[in-house]
A and B are shown apart, each in its own frame.
Chain A
Amino acid sequence: MVLQLFITGISMGMLYALMAMGLILIVKAVGVLNFAHGQLFMLGAYITWSLTNQLKLPLWAMIIAMIVCFCIVGLSFMFTVYWPLRNSPWKVTVVISTLGASIALKEAVRLIWSFIPLLSKPLIDKVIRIGDAVMNVQYIFIIIISGALMLFVYFLFEKTFIGKIMQATAQNRYAAELIGIPSVVAIAGTYMISMCMSGVGGWLAAPLFLVSQSLGTFAQKAFAGIVVGGFGSIKGAVVGCVLVGLIESFSILITDAYKDAVVFGVLILVLIIRPTGIFGEKIEEKA
């Protein structure tokens, strides 16, 4: 059974990590948390469901269409929710704006697709046995794709020019603009990549958990993972999320009903003992 718990933990953890990566990108780019992130994840699941089941596109076409859709969504999201508020002195306004967006998105999805949970087929509808444990093949896809995306983002941000531009804008928008970097483009790019990541996460998670509006609640575990792993870094987000997945999974040994309490309790403990998380940067204060 320990093996099964381990496998479930890692699988769920990588799913949370996929969401968290998208979230961290936005945090680094604009400095505030995006509370609509869970809804973006959910939206990804619905959009891909429609592309596959209503437009009946073959897989390769669907992937292209999916990425295009996500980019459009990411752009619109940025321009409506963040861009008008980018110069506001009160950071709270951006946070509240994303809260409003999360409510609006959830309702919009309900109006378009109705509230009945939709069925989605996994990429390969099989289950593999590893000894005593059981794992959906879909999880393997999740792990591989998460890993690939993580490498892609690392490569993009660290090695390419475009990535450097985006990093610069994220660190100090004013200075970047002085140098001549069009911050609109950089931030838009960040939002699009972030949306793609969460959207893909939604697409992959849908066959396992049904396409429904409650998919948004996964974001809470992703938040926890980011904090545990360290607020500033992608590496931290991934490690933190995997840890959260494992803790959630293994907590069943102690309790059945209080699973969530254990996770959030650990979150608070980590925050108290080591606020920067495992990999986080030191929080600096400037006068």
Chain B
Amino acid sequence: MKKIMILLLTLLMVFSFTGCNRNGDKPGEDEPIKIGLTDAFTGDRAGNGQYTKEGVDMFLEYINGKGGVLGREVVVVYEDDQGNETAAVNAYQKLILENEDLTAVVLNKYSSVVLAMEPYVADSKIPAICSGSNVKIEQSTNPYLYSTRRSDYGSGATMAAFIKQEGAKRVAILYSPDALGKGMSEIVIAKLQEAGIEVVSSQQFSEGEKQFANYVAKIKESNPDFIVCIGQTSETGLIVKAIYDAGLNHIKCIGNSAFAQATTIEQAGLEASEGWYSITAFAAGTEEEPTASWIRSYTEKYGHAPEMTSVTTYDALSMICYAIEKANSTDPEAVNAELKKILNFEGIAAVYSYNGNPMLANSEFVIQIQNGKAIVLTKVIG
């Protein structure tokens, strides 16, 4: 009797799941163009996903309002990568295996997540545009991988140059335990040492850390005249606040792009974030066009300012659609070939060109937070 039950159950399971074969027909003339997208929609980094989605919606409204691309509607297929590498790999595979007619994919800004997905991108031969900035992305020979950012090598060098320009002699660094933190801190430290500036303290905080008082105490001990912090938006607000609470905010502080975003400023508060510098691809307080108008319409539509990911996603989608038009086809290979020909494409956040490596942007801003807004000090190109 028991055996019969086992048999029935096994049969049930085997047959109930054989019916889920997905057929990918090549899309006909009236089928929508499908672009895949993975981002964190749940988990600690889910705030990022929300901004990304807002960027996507704004783009789709715009492009489909113009009649779509090649006369077809553009549709974005989402998968949640939960902001961590393992889930991202699964999400990407699901996206690719379940949708056989994707033209391209947009990935998120977390370098470590993108790097984990990279081998699968190479296998699937579908162009993917991310917004991660790690040097390993720049060095990747994967012909299908792109990024809307400038690499950390450039940002790190800019950061070090800025610090040198401000006349600092003793620098303390605090960085996150992922590709971003490790990668960027390495570059900054190397450049500082080249310039003869002493790095008096270098600390890596733990994953998921919330209590920064002790790290800050150690920084205080080392008596720096400039503090560098590198992290993701889940902890940057807390870091800024901790430095302020310890009474260290008379010391000049600079952070990576996460430190310039509205979320960070909000979490840390006006007083704590005042005076912070940052090297960022996107500053919501910029006056440049077409960025400023775009920011205004975004704010009007959603009631809050955009974050970097909203804008890079918008630009990534713009470039993909542009490539589709140019190639007059949705075949991933053809689109990929067109992406490689991009030169001086005017996006919202930057002007993009393909220069032989995945990084499509080569400019960034040096900003300072004044009165709760990220004000552009200079623009760095190259």
Q: Are A260 and B206 in contact (CB under 8 A)?
A: yes
Interface assignment of B318: CB less than 8 Å from any CB of chain A: no
A4: B residues at CB distance < 8 A: 213-214, 217, 220
Say whether, besides A210-B237, A256-B203, A1 and B208 are in contact (CB < 8 Å). no
Contact partner, B217, options A5, A116, A217, A260, Cβ 8 Å: A5
Interface assignment of A198: CB less than 8 Å from any CB of chain B: no
Q: Are B50 and A134 in contact (CB under 8 A)?
A: no
Segment 244-263 of B: residues with Cβ below 8 Å from A: 245-247, 263
The answer for the CA separation of A208 and B208 in the assembled complex, in Å, is 15
Instruction: Name which of B12-20, B39-47, B102-110 contacts chain A.
Output: B39-47
Q: Are B247 and A214 in contact (CB under 8 A)?
A: no
The answer for the CA separation of A8 and B246 in the assembled complex, in Å, is 12
A to B contact number (C-beta, < 8 Å):
72
Q: Are A127 and B245 in contact (CB under 8 A)?
A: yes
A210: B residues at CB distance < 8 A: 210, 237-238, 267
Interface assignment of B205: CB less than 8 Å from any CB of chain A: yes
Q: Are A117 and B245 in contact (CB under 8 A)?
A: no
A127: B residues at CB distance < 8 A: 245, 247
The answer for the CA separation of A57 and B63 in the assembled complex, in Å, is 46
Say whether, besides A12-B211, A119-B266, A259-B206, A1 and B238 are in contact (CB < 8 Å). no
Q: Are B213 and A217 in contact (CB under 8 A)?
A: no
B47: A residues at CB distance < 8 A: 115-117
Segment 163-211 of B: residues with Cβ below 8 Å from A: 177, 203-206, 208, 210-211
The answer for the CA separation of A211 and B108 in the assembled complex, in Å, is 25
Interface assignment of B294: CB less than 8 Å from any CB of chain A: no
A252: B residues at CB distance < 8 A: 214-215, 218
A116: B residues at CB distance < 8 A: 46-47, 50, 263
Q: Are A133 and B217 in contact (CB under 8 A)?
A: yes
Interface assignment of A79: CB less than 8 Å from any CB of chain B: no
Q: Are A1 and B213 in contact (CB under 8 A)?
A: no
B238: A residues at CB distance < 8 A: 209-210
Interface assignment of A129: CB less than 8 Å from any CB of chain B: yes
The answer for the CA separation of A160 and B218 in the assembled complex, in Å, is 48
Q: A205 — nearest CB in chain B belongs to which residue?
A: B210
Interface assignment of A136: CB less than 8 Å from any CB of chain B: yes
Say whether, besides A1-B220, A119-B266, A212 and B213 are in contact (CB < 8 Å). no
Q: Are B208 and A119 in contact (CB under 8 A)?
A: no
Say whether, besides A8-B213, A257-B177, A115 and B46 are in contact (CB < 8 Å). yes
A194: B residues at CB distance < 8 A: none
A136: B residues at CB distance < 8 A: 245
Contact partner, B204, options A115, A119, A134, A256, Cβ 8 Å: A256
B211: A residues at CB distance < 8 A: 8, 12, 209
Q: Are B204 and A257 in contact (CB under 8 A)?
A: yes
Q: Are B267 and A117 in contact (CB under 8 A)?
A: yes
Segment 68-118 of B: residues with Cβ below 8 Å from A: none
Interface assignment of B123: CB less than 8 Å from any CB of chain A: no
Contact partner, A115, options B42, B206, B213, Cβ 8 Å: B42
Expressed in whole angstroms, the minimum distance between the Cβ of B273 and any Cβ of chain A is 13
Interface assignment of B300: CB less than 8 Å from any CB of chain A: no
Say whether, besides A115-B43, A256-B215, A134 and B267 are in contact (CB < 8 Å). no
Interface assignment of A110: CB less than 8 Å from any CB of chain B: yes
Expressed in whole angstroms, the minimum distance between the Cβ of A57 and any Cβ of chain B is 23
Interface assignment of B29: CB less than 8 Å from any CB of chain A: no
Q: Mark A197-228, 1 if CB is under 8 A from B, else 0.
A: 00000000000111011100100000000000
Chain A residues within CB distance 8 Å of chain B:
1, 4-5, 8, 12, 110, 115-117, 119, 127, 129, 132-134, 136, 208-210, 212-214, 217, 249, 252, 256-257, 259-260
9 contacts between A and B (CB under 8 A): A115-B43, A115-B44, A117-B47, A117-B234, A133-B217, A134-B245, A252-B214, A256-B205, A257-B177
- Cβ-closest 3 pairs across A and B: A115-B46, A4-B217, A256-B203
